[in-house]
Amino acid sequence: MDLVTVWFAVVVLCWVLFFTLEGFDFGVGVLAPLVGRDEHERGAALKTIGPFWDGNEVWLVAAIGVTYAAFPAWYSALLSGTYLPMVGVLLLLAGRGVALEFRGKHADPRWRRRCEVVLALCSAGVVALWGALLSVFVRGLALGADGEVVAQPGLAAGLSRTVAPLLTAQAALGAVAALAFSLLLGACFLALRTTGPVRVRAHRVAALAATVVAALGAVVAVAGLAGTEPLDVGLVVTGALVAATAVAVAAAVRLRREGVAFTLASLLVAGVVAAVMLANGDVVLPSTLDPAWALTRESAAATPAALGLVTAFGAVVVPGVVVYQVWSYWVFRRRVSSERVATA
pLDDT in tens, 274-314: 988 888 888 988 888 888 888 898 888 888 888 888 888 87
Stretch 42-71: mean pLDDT? 87
Whole-angstrom Cα distance, residue 253 to residue 204?
Answer: 9
Mean pLDDT calculated for residue range 233-257: 90
Q: Which helix (H) or strand (E) holds 285?
A: strand 283-285
Q: Say yes or no to pLDDT of 262 above 90.
A: yes
Give the residue with greater pLDDT, 257 vs 231.
257
Q: Cα separation of 302 and 9, whole Å?
A: 15
**pLDDT at position 231:** 59
Higher pLDDT among residues 228 and 320, named by residue: 320
Nearest CA to 190 among 32, 53, 54?
32
pLDDT higher than threshold 80 for residue 201: yes
What band does 181 get if pLDDT is binned at 50, 70 and 90?
A: very high
Rounded CA-CA distance 227/42 in Å is 45
Write down the pLDDT at residue 229: 55
Percent of the chain with pLDDT over 90: 35
Q: Quick check: 228 pLDDT over 80?
A: no
pTM of the predicted structure, to 2 decimals: 0.87
Residue 86 has pLDDT above 70, yes or no: yes
Instruction: Give the pLDDT score at 227.
Output: 65
Rg of the chain, C-alpha, whole Å:
21
Distances 331 to 51, 105, 119, 148, 328 between C-alpha atoms, Å: 10, 25, 25, 46, 5
Please report which confidence band the pLDDT of residue 324 belongs to, taking 50, 70 and 90 as the band edges: confident
How many angstroms separate the CA atoms of 46 and 29, rounded?
Answer: 7
At position 213, the amino acid (one-letter code) is: V
Cα–Cα distance, 67 to 285 (Å, whole number): 12
Instruction: With cut-offs at 50, 70 and 90, classify the pLDDT of residue 62.
Output: confident
Average pLDDT over residues 222-226: 78
**Stretch 234-256: mean pLDDT:** 90
CA distance readout (Å), 311 to 316, 318, 322: 9, 10, 16
pLDDT digits (tens, 9 = 90+) for 138-170: 888 888 887 778 776 665 666 667 787 888 888
What mean pLDDT comes out for the span 69-98? Answer: 90
Indicate the helix (H) or strand (E) that contains 337. strand 336-337
φ, ψ dihedrals at 147, nearest 5°: 85, 0
Is the Cβ–Cβ distance between 299 and 73 less than 8 Å?
yes
